[in-house]
Amino acid sequence: MMEVAGRWTEVFEGSERQETSGGEEPLLGSSTLKLVPRAADSPSIRRSQPILITANRTKGVEAKSSSVPSIPNPFPELCSPSQSPVLIGSLPPPSSDKHLMKVYGEDSHSRSMWVSAGATAREVCHMLVQTAHCSDQENWALIELHPTLGLERCLEDHEVVLEVQATWSVKGDTKLLFRKNYAKYEFFRKPVLFFPECMISDSADVSKGMTSSELIQNLLRSGTCPEIQSFLHVREPNRKAWKRVYFFLRRSGLYCSTKGSSKEPRHLQYVADLDELNVYTVANSRKLYGAPADFTFCIKPCRSHDRAHDLKLLCAENEQTRTCWTSAFRLFKYGKQLQCNYQLSKLAPQCLEATKHTDGKPESEASLVAMDFSGKSGGRVIQNPWEAQSAEKEEGLAWRRREALRCSLPNLSSGARPSSIHKSQLWFHGGVSRKQAQRLIEEQGLVDGMFLIRESQQHAQCFVLSLCYKLKTKHYLVIPCEEGGRKYFTMDDGLTLFIDLLQLVEFHQINKGILPVCLKHPCICVAL
């Protein structure tokens, strides 16, 4: 057997094509089969790699195309998302510490927005106010809502929103809601209304002999906490029954008495620590939990799952008692931080008002100017911002008078409806029911002077003014009447007449009339 080393080729006699190997002589005149080594092949080409095309092959093409003038892009904003006002909100920001967050409005529609990891509830509310173009810059809040459990609470201004969301259950339906909350810091303005004397007493760290009002002022001024006490209905664990128990709230925590209202240490039972829980109000508590009254609230551990048996349900006998307990929980837990938040909330409107008169205006307002056409020489641009605001207000009032006069002319038929200018006002809520109106006012904070106007469901062509006073909602019927061939509205049997509902509201914002308090805070629902 013959061994052949290296590559080899077959060479036959008489072949027209003769191959040589290296420097050897050509193989001729041999009839035998010889195996000779084959010359080394040239390097193989990897066909998966692209073939480089030299520049000289496209030189003529480039010279030809360079003679054609370039056509500008007619839609640069579609090709440059960084400069597009439409597409910029749908793309993530270049910074890596941004997170996508979804916030719901009161119309069940949501808005997604990018926020930083350390964004507080105050900062997120400010962003939503600017995005939703809210005319009122104050008293907005983020609400933590648990629809299945019927729980909700207002996030404190200093709370980091993403840290709050991190405590939610992944399978739950918890969400953030953006709406008004006038009562967030109302206890700083009217502490006696929120902390009745019968519920406040001395504790071990407060000097004896102080009155209830002095204890309240001491609480708000120095952070020294008195003791909150009252009877509450508590739902017994693993049962649907409710039991009436006497509770005490101190800086050290929440306690209950096992024997009436006794404060003796042997009768006190520890319930919860303030630093480890949040306080929520409960909506529709009669139906969900069989509560004895509608004034229900609960305490829930901060990092517990959304389960009903983790809740400590408590029911007060009236709204004032519930408000006192929920306000005291917030004050005892956060202390002077709430007072700092309150001071910042008072400064925020002044800062926003100052920024309105700076040179940095939005692009949508840069092309709008105020004009005065009262002169004979034509229109002039109003340069003074205060004069422009005054002209805008006068024009609005003049339009309202013209509209009201047109709708109340004597030659109109008796069946004609009065002015419908109220339909464009934020305080008008259409045909909502009495119960829904009370719910809206309760959600946005039971403060004196909050109001809305709705259509009456019992009396045709009549309206109802729903007004909050001393933590209760009162309802006043607005009746249309006719005098001298013109249509008016009245709430006092014709003693005071108003040409439309807008004039009625403007009058009672300055004068109480038959109302217990002037109209102050309109109940507003803003869609995101």
Q: Are both 208 and 292 inside the same structural domain?
A: yes
> For residues 324 and 200, what is the distance between their CA atoms, to the nearest angstrom?
10
Question: Strand ranges (DSSP E) for 345-414?
Answer: 371-372, 380-381
> For residues 452 and 504, what is the distance between their CA atoms, to the nearest angstrom?
12
Asked whether residue 483 is assigned to any structural domain, the reply reads: yes
Q: Are both 444 and 517 inside the same structural domain?
A: yes
* pLDDT of 133 above 70: yes
Query: What values do phi and psi take at 339, rounded to 5?
Result: -70, -35
Domain boundary among 180, 198, 222: 180
Q: Mean pLDDT score of the chain, rounded to an integer?
A: 76
Alpha helices in 408-483 (DSSP H): 434-443
CB 124 within 8 A of CB 158: no
- CA 225-229-234 angle, to 5 degrees, is 125
Asked whether residue 48 is assigned to any structural domain, the reply reads: no
Q: Are both 448 and 319 inside the same structural domain?
A: no
CB 153 within 8 A of CB 280: yes
* pLDDT of 468 above 60: yes
Q: Are both 455 and 424 inside the same structural domain?
A: yes
Q: pLDDT category, 101, cuts 50, 70, 90?
A: very high
Residue 513 token pair: 């009339």
Q: Are both 191 and 335 inside the same structural domain?
A: yes
**Maximum C-alpha span of the chain:** 139
Asked whether residue 13 is assigned to any structural domain, the reply reads: yes
Give the model's pLDDT for residue 68. Answer: 53
Higher pLDDT, 325 or 65: 325
The CATH number that applies at residue 493 is 3.30.505.10
- Is this prediction's pTM over 0.85? no
* pLDDT of 178 above 80: yes
Q: pLDDT category, 64, cuts 50, 70, 90?
A: very low
> For residues 428 and 463, what is the distance between their CA atoms, to the nearest angstrom?
10
The CATH number that applies at residue 288 is 2.30.29.30
CB 161 within 8 A of CB 124: yes
480 forms beta bridges with: 489
Strand-pair category, 242-250 with 253-257: antiparallel
Q: What are the tens digits of pLDDT across the range 233-270? A: 998 877 789 999 999 998 888 999 999 888 888 999 99
Q: Are both 151 and 173 inside the same structural domain?
A: yes
Q: Are both 195 and 264 inside the same structural domain?
A: yes
Q: Are both 246 and 306 inside the same structural domain?
A: yes
**What would the DSSP string read from start to end of 336-361?**
HHHHHHHHHHHHHHHHHHHHHTSS--
**What would the DSSP string read from start to end of 212-270?**
HHHHHHHHHHH----EEEEEEEEEPTTSS-EEEEEEEEETTEEEEESSTT---GGGEEE
Asked whether residue 41 is assigned to any structural domain, the reply reads: no
Asked whether residue 410 is assigned to any structural domain, the reply reads: no
How many CB atoms lie under 10 A from the CB of residue 54? 7
CA dihedral for 514, 516, 521, 527, sign (positive or negative): negative
Asked whether residue 46 is assigned to any structural domain, the reply reads: no
Q: Are both 250 and 332 inside the same structural domain?
A: yes
Domain boundary among 130, 157, 180: 180
Q: Are both 277 and 220 inside the same structural domain?
A: yes
Residue % of the chain over a pLDDT of 70? 65
Asked whether residue 383 is assigned to any structural domain, the reply reads: no
Range(s) of the domain holding residue 133: 94-180
Higher pLDDT, 27 or 454: 454
Q: What are the tens digits of pLDDT across the range 338-394? A: 888 988 888 865 555 554 444 444 444 444 566 666 666 566 777 777 777 777 666
Asked whether residue 479 is assigned to any structural domain, the reply reads: yes
Domain boundary among 327, 342, 357: 342
Q: Are both 171 and 198 inside the same structural domain?
A: no
Give the model's pLDDT for residue 79. Answer: 54
Q: Are both 195 and 336 inside the same structural domain?
A: yes
**Three-class SS state of 382:** coil
Overall number of domains in the chain = 4
Q: What are the tens digits of pLDDT across the range 399-456? A: 555 555 555 545 444 444 456 788 889 899 999 999 999 999 999 989 999 999 999 9
Q: pLDDT category, 170, cuts 50, 70, 90?
A: confident
Strand order in the sheet with 472-483: 486-490, 472-483, 463-469, 450-455, 521-522
CB 341 within 8 A of CB 360: no
Mean pLDDT is highest, among 5-19, 84-98, 127-141, 448-462, for 448-462
The CATH number that applies at residue 114 is 3.10.20.90
Q: pLDDT category, 60, cuts 50, 70, 90?
A: very low
Query: What values do phi and psi take at 229, rounded to 5?
Result: -145, 145
> For residues 285 and 294, what is the distance between their CA atoms, to the nearest angstrom?
6
Higher pLDDT, 67 or 145: 145
| Identity at 496, one-letter amino acid code | T
